[in-house]
Amino acid sequence: MAIRGNKVVYFRFVYNFNNLQLATTKQMELRNLIGKKISDIRMEVKDFPYDGSIPLDESVSHIILDSNEIIEIPYLNSNCLLLEEALSKNQKTIFEENGNKSILHKLFFQSDSDNLITRNTNNIKDKEITAIFQYDSLYSDKGREWDKCLIQVESGFLISEKTISPKGTGQAGIWIFTSLEDLTTKIGSGFRKLI
C-alpha cells in the first residue's frame, strides 16, 4: 500500500502466463456500486492450471460500468472492489453488439439462444445497479456452493459468476437470474441483501 496525495493505492500480484507482475489497483467501496449502470460484461472461460485429477474450467469476468470503471463481481463478505486497469484481449461481451454474436451463443445448447441473449441485453445492459446479495455460508439451502455476490439491476435481473467448475460442464462463467424467485429455484435460498 502507498499513499499518493490524498489517495491510497494498493498493490497486488497478478498471476499472468506464469510470470508475476506488480499491478497498481485502486479500490471502490461496495456501496458505491448502487446507482451505477452496467455498460458491458466481458467473460473468458479457459483451462485452470493445476495438477489435480479432474480438469477444471476457470471464468475470468469483468463488468464495465457507465463510469468506465472495470470491476470483478465481488466475492462474499467484500467491503471493497479492486478497480481493474484493463480487460484481457480474450474476454468477449455477453451481449449482442452491432449484429455480432455474444460469447454466450457458444455456451447455450438451447435453440433459442438468440432470444436469451436479446433478453439479457434488454434487461441488464445500461441498467442501474439497485442491490447486492450474497449467500452467507457459501452454500444455499440446496447445498449449492456460491462464493461470489449477486448484483441486481433495476429490471430485477441478477448477475453472478461461478469462477471454477469441472471442465466441459458449462458451469464456469457468468450466471444470470431473471428474479430472486428464479435464483431461489435454481440455486436455493439462504441469501441476504448486503446493500
**Which three three-digit cell numbers place residue 166?**
469441472
Please state the domain extents for the chain: 2-193
Q: What is the pLDDT along the chain (195 residues), one digit of tens a residue?
A: 333 344 433 333 333 333 334 444 688 999 999 999 999 999 888 888 888 888 998 889 999 999 999 999 999 888 888 888 888 888 888 887 655 554 454 444 344 456 777 788 889 999 999 999 998 877 788 888 888 999 999 999 999 999 888 888 888 889 999 999 999 999 999 999 999
CA–CA separation, 181 vs 166, rounded Å? 27
Q: Closest Cα partner for 59 from 88, 28, 18, 20? A: 88
DSSP track, 112-140: THHHHHHHHHHHHTTPBEEEEEEETTSB-
pTM exceeds 0.85 for this model: no
Coil, strand, or helix at residue 70?
Answer: strand
DSSP class of residue 100 equals: B
Which three cell numbers mark 172?
464456469
